[in-house]
Homo-oligomer: A and B are copies of this chain.
């Protein structure tokens, strides 16, 4: 027999939001909740915290710009400062994307820095870079609670237990918490190091981190990567996260995968290395070129409803709510702001 065709909504329905006029009645989708959030719950991202990375145009000559949001205090500020220093020194200009490993990371920097396919000497780093300690990979609980003004109800915003500890959001970022004594009691397991306690930003899709050597090296910020697959949360507390890609991620995630070790481009495919023309701190750009972005406060009531809707989808396509969602499956809403 010939199967009856289903409606246009079918394929659409695989992802929210489906076209409103096509769909059965249901509760608001996560995107609809975000769209309805009042402007007062959106936080403008400082120009000093935005990096604009311009890649060489694609084969069709289309411009490729990637915008990265750097993390605010109390996260990773030494590395963030180094990244601004490197950008302002023009150090990132004319480097390239040298590694694309499927379901893991895209990594860019000097092709001769720690690259199994290196053919020359690495370029020298500018003066004035801070050498960070591993303690900077995490934020101690009290420092974070102070930053959140949560001293009196420290666990209020912790969403749920996951295999990495407790998952939550702070100051616009996904964070994991592990405590020697946590609400689940057994969080003391495996906590052999101070780094194993407190808050750590989570290696979710699109997060940007700092390549490093073996401990005690912590990386300078010259070698950066972003996550292009399932969250490699095992890197949390082991590497400094410094930001996330908030626009143009597709220019990195769709790059051809490298055939060399760990996804580095091999000698016979160096032509696949994507040149990075410039990396600029947005505040250094002419006012008209400064991108305006804002994120939905993770401390706001609409974010809490959005997170709940991500965990319990009741918009029309869904039959059974999951009853939960891991923090990397609750992307923090970030959008272009109306120009001021």
A residues neighboring B (CB under 8 Å): 1-3, 5-15, 19, 23-24, 59, 99-105, 107, 109, 113-116, 118, 122, 124-125, 127, 129, 131, 134, 159-165, 167, 178, 189-193, 195-196, 204-206, 211-215, 217, 219-220, 223, 225, 229-239, 249-250, 253-257, 261-264, 310-313, 316-326, 328-329, 331
Contact = CB atoms under 8 A, between A and B. Distances in A.
A231 B329 contact: yes
A319 B238 contact: yes
A105 B104 CA distance: 16
Contact of A107 (B14, B59, B231): B14
Nearest to A239: B14
Q: Which of A1, A114, A165, A310 has the most CB of B within 10 A?
A: A114
Given A7-B213, A131-B3, A254-B256, A232 B320 contact: no
Contacts of A115: 8, 11
Contact of A322 (B164, B193, B211, B326): B164
B261 A311 contact: no
A25 to B, nearest CB: 11
A163 B249 CA distance: 27
The 7 closest A-B pairs by CB, nearest first: A163-B324, A10-B213, A6-B213, A11-B114, A190-B323, A10-B114, A250-B257
B329 A217 contact: no
A329 B163 CA distance: 10
A213 B114 contact: no
A213 B258 CA distance: 37
A332 to B, nearest CB: 13
A11 B322 contact: no
Contact of A6 (B8, B114, B231, B264): B114
B319 A3 contact: no
B114 A325 contact: no
Contacts of A206: 103
A212 B10 contact: yes
Contacts of A131: 3
A240 B214 CA distance: 43
Contacts of A238: 313, 317-320
Contacts of A103: 205-206, 249, 253, 331
Contacts of A317: 214, 238
A131 B4 CA distance: 11
A33 to B, nearest CB: 15
Between A114, A215, A320, A326, the greatest number of chain B beta carbons within 10 A of the residue's beta carbon is seen for A320
A84 B164 CA distance: 39
A15 B101 contact: yes
Contacts of A233: 322, 325-326, 329
Given A9-B213, A10-B114, A163-B322, A190 B254 contact: no
